């Protein structure tokens, strides 16, 4: 009975972690590019150049700043939920996750060369990347993933057909 329970908990935990990884994968680069658009502003451009030139341990500290800054926001969201506003609290958590991912992704792009000069970080990053690819391979092999891909492809086809029909009528 205990073995079965442990296996079930491990499977649930793996799928939950896979969902987090998928969110990070899907959002990481597009969100980093979106934050990168802010680099057109002179102050942001100047800050990014400074961050990109940081030594390794300073880069590591800057990389972890967003996580520390988001902690009070997440605690606020839990307080809001505790006050009976579950939807608002969850919305705050989701927005904080998206903004946090965007900022961390951009900071990682800027600090990765300095971080990879730290031998322990490079080893950890290499192991993380390998493990993440194994998890993603399992997810992509699942029936749910294949069904989701098929639905996505069907929706894209319908949207293209709708757009062609809309364009051919001149939008009327």
Question: Residue 87's pLDDT is what?
Answer: 92
In this predicted model, what pLDDT tens digit does every residue of 10-21 receive, in sequence order?
878 777 777 777
pLDDT at 85 over 80: yes
Question: Residue 24's pLDDT is what?
Answer: 67
The average pLDDT across 89-107 equals 87
pLDDT at 42 over 80: yes
Question: Residue 25's pLDDT is what?
Answer: 67
In this predicted model, what pLDDT tens digit does every residue of 66-76 receive, in sequence order?
878 888 998 99
What residue ranges do the domains of the chain occupy?
Answer: 2-141
111 contacts: CB under 8 Å, gap ≥ 6: 51, 52, 54, 59, 60, 62, 63
Question: Residue 125's pLDDT is what?
Answer: 92
The average pLDDT across 142-167 equals 85
- How far is Cα 126 from Cα 132, in angstroms, rounded to an integer? 10
Q: pTM surpassing 0.85?
A: no
């Amino acid at each position: 009975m205990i073995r079965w329970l442990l296996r079930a908990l491990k499977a649930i935990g793996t799928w939950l972690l896979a969902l987090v990884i998928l969110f990070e994968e899907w959002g990481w680069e597009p969100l980093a590019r979106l934050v990168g658009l802010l680099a057109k502003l002179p102050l942001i451009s100047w800050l990014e150049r400074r961050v990109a030139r940081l030594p390794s341990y300073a880069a590591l500290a800057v990389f972890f700043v967003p996580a520390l800054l988001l902690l009070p926001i997440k605690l606020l969201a839990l307080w809001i939920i505790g006050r009976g506003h579950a939807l608002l609290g969850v919305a705050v958590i989701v927005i904080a996750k998206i903004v946090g991912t965007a900022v961390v992704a951009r900071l990682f792009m800027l600090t990765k060369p300095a971080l990879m000069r730290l031998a322990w970080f490079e080893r950890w990053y290499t192991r993380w990347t390998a493990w993440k690819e194994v998890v993603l391979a399992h997810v992509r092999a699942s029936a749910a993933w294949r069904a989701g891909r098929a639905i996505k492809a069907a929706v894209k086809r319908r949207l293209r057909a709708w757009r062609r029909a809309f364009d051919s009528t001149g939008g009327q």
